Structure 1
Amino acid sequence: MAAAAGLLRASVGLAAASSLHRPGLELRRVGAAAAAVAFFSVRRRYGSEAREEEEELRVRYLDDEHKGIVVLGLNRPHAKNALNKNLLKMMSKAVDSLKSDKKVRTVIFRSEVPGIFCAGADLKERAKMHSSEVSSFVSKARAAVNEMANLPVPTIAALDGIALGGGLELALACDIRVAASSAKMGLVETKLAIIPGAGGTQRLPRTIGASLAKELIFSARVVDGEEAKSIGLISHVVQQNEAGDAAYRRALALAREFLPQGPLAMRVAKLAINQGMEVDLVTGLAIEEACYAQTIPTKDRIEGLLAFKEKRPPRYKGE
Structure 2
Amino acid sequence: MTRTTAGAPPSPAHTCDTGRLTLCRDGAIVTLTLVRPPVNAIDDAMLSELDAALASVAADATVALLRISSALPVFCAGADLAMVGARLADAHGAAAMTATTRLFHQVYDRLAGMPAVTLAEMEGHALGGGLELALACDLRIASHAARLGLPEAKVGLLPGAGGTQRLTRLCGPGVAARLILGGELVDGAEAERLGLVQWSAPAGEVRARADAVAARIADLSPESLRAAKACIALAAPVSPEGAAAEIAGIGALMGEAGTRRRVAAFLQR
Partner of 1:68: 28
Cα deviations by residue, 1:265-311 (Å, 9 ceiling, x for unpaired): 110110011112349xxxxxxxxxxxxxxxxxxxxxxxxxxxxxxxx
Identify the match of residue 249 of structure 1 among 192, 205, 208.
208
Partner of 1:143: 106
Q: Are 1:118 and 2:76 an aligned pair? A: yes
Q: Are 1:134 and 2:90 an aligned pair? A: no
Superposition deviation, residue 173 in structure 1: 0.6
Number of equivalent positions: 210
> What is the alpha-carbon root mean square deviation over aligned residues?
1.5
The one-letter amino acid paired with 2:81 is: L
The one-letter amino acid paired with 1:58 is: T
Q: Greater CA radius of gyration, 1 or 2?
A: 1
SS at match of 1:261: coil
Check conservation: 1:120, 1:163, Cα contact below 8 A.
yes
Identify the match of residue 21 of structure 2 among 53, 57, 63.
57
**1:147-166 counterparts in 2 under 5 A?**
147-166=110-129
Identify the match of residue 146 of structure 2 among 190, 213, 223.
190
Partner of 1:314: none
If the length of structure 2 is used for normalisation, what is the TM-score? 0.75
Q: Are 1:271 and 2:230 an aligned pair? A: yes
Name the CA distance, whole Å, in 1 between partners of 2:208 and 2:107. 25
Determine which structure has greater relative contact order: mean sequence separation of CA pairs < 8 Å that are 6+ residues apart, divided by chain length.
Answer: 2
Name the CA distance, whole Å, in 2 between partners of 1:89 and 1:154. 21
Check conservation: 2:139, 2:197, Cα contact below 8 A.
yes
SS at match of 1:161: coil
**1:1-319 counterparts in 2 under 5 A?**
54-62=18-26, 67-78=27-38, 80-113=39-72, 115-129=73-87, 130-181=93-144, 189-194=145-150, 195=152, 196-241=159-204, 246-278=205-237
Structure 1 vs Structure 2: percent identity of aligned residues? 35
Name the CA distance, whole Å, in 2 between partners of 1:219 and 1:277. 25
The one-letter amino acid paired with 1:139 is: R
Cα deviations by residue, 1:141-179 (Å, 9 ceiling, x for unpaired): 111111111101110000000111000000011111101
Q: Which runs of 5 or more residues in structure 2 are unaligned? A: 1-16, 88-92, 153-158, 239-269
Name the CA distance, whole Å, in 1 between partners of 2:131 and 2:200. 15
If the length of structure 1 is used for normalisation, what is the TM-score? 0.64
Check conservation: 1:155, 1:176, Cα contact below 8 A.
yes
Name the CA distance, whole Å, in 2 between partners of 1:164 and 1:134. 18
Name the CA distance, whole Å, in 2 between partners of 1:225 and 1:278. 26
Deviates more, 1:151-160 or 1:210-219: 210-219
Name the CA distance, whole Å, in 1 between partners of 2:189 and 2:83. 33
Q: Which runs of 5 or more residues in structure 1 are unaligned? A: 1-52, 182-188, 280-319
